[in-house]
Structure 1
Amino acid sequence: MQDNFSISNYIKILIIIEDQTNISFEEILKLLKLPKGIVLTNLSKLIKENLIKFENNLYKLTTLGESWLDDKLTILKKLDYDDRKFKLVFIKNYSNRSCKTLFVDKLKKNGFVSFAYQVIIGKCDYDANIHALAKYYKINEIEIIEIGNFQEKYLDYWDIAKIDDKYEQFVINAKTVLSNNRLLTAIRINAKINIYYFANILISDPRIGTRGINYNETIKKALGYYQKIKIFCYD
């Protein structure tokens, strides 16, 4: 199976299990072609996090695993207009620096970036989600302010060039999927893995679905290739 840019083995295994519904360890090895130890380590982690379960010598997704993957792909349904609002998150009080770092890192994995000292900017559906995350990481006090009108100058806080590089890598991966003459199962799984990667780029890109922001040719090309490969795996 092709090496997909910035997609962990953990995610690849989860997607393979989702695709196959019920799959044995040997079948996972055959599809992924990784050392047994690496596969076992990731399977153990997925089980520990209750994303998959092992029954009758077969691995399958849990209900949590299904919803976890669905949540990651939700952004694909909001390509025309994303109704999430841009928020500034002020970290006002915390007891543990390590917990604060974990809180910020978690937000950054969901498209937020640093705006100022202990201030993060990004898109979010509900303030309650951020407050719940802050509580989980034992942040004593945060303040969330909605940005009424997003201005293009705010894009300077994101590394747009790096995001565009990821779009270009996605296009390369998508072309590989389209030119692949292997078994349909392998093509479908590769398409799903690359679409997951594409969804993560979209989450990190503040331009997506933002009113008044025009997409450049790199984004348009990536969107076109997404449409081409999704026919292998999604309606």
Structure 2
Amino acid sequence: MQALRRRVEGSNEYVVDGEDLTLIGTAEMPLTGYHADEILDEKDLPLLYAGYSPVLPEKRREHTANTPANYSEYTNLTNWKCTHSVCRNNPKKFMKKSLSVEEALWQQIGISYHVVNIAAGDLDAPAAKKYDIEYWSPVDQTYRELTSCSNCTDYQARGLNIRVRRENGTIESVHTLNGTAVSLARSLVVILENFQNQDGTLTVPEVLRPYMNGRDVI
């Protein structure tokens, strides 16, 4: 197996020795890069994508009272949107759509949660605005991060040279929005914490039973 190393010491970016390859931290990365160096037509926007991928290099810390603190890979489902700068005039519309997709998933499963509007000082470099969905952990008796969605305006697009030709002929950078719809590792913990029974069995959330051959309990 080929060795991994950090591209820059102290960073979360890992490369494969001997290859021009970098492990991705989320499906957001290849989805955003899909249109690198392109000029899109305004009539084709918004572009909406979903990506399913492993999350490898960031080694995020997934920890609750009943799981050890460690840095491990997991799998996520990302929803991603590419819009033009009209988003600048109506950002709530696009953020609301991203957030509603994530909320709908967890409402159907039946998880208690709240939505946090992340303070500007806590935002990472790409995001101009970000919402986190935090679920209520009955084990830890506190809220913990479940999913998030971000409006990155033209930050990512400028770096990847993704532009749009407006109907009036002008060319400008597009805007990108992204969100984690499902993180597999977190989702399993959430379902176990909320649906496991005293005898160790698990009551399958009703919305998932069609995928479990109709089984109510496992």
TM-score (norm 2): 0.24
Of the two structures, which has the highest relative contact order with CA contacts closer than 8 Å and spacing of 6 or more?
1
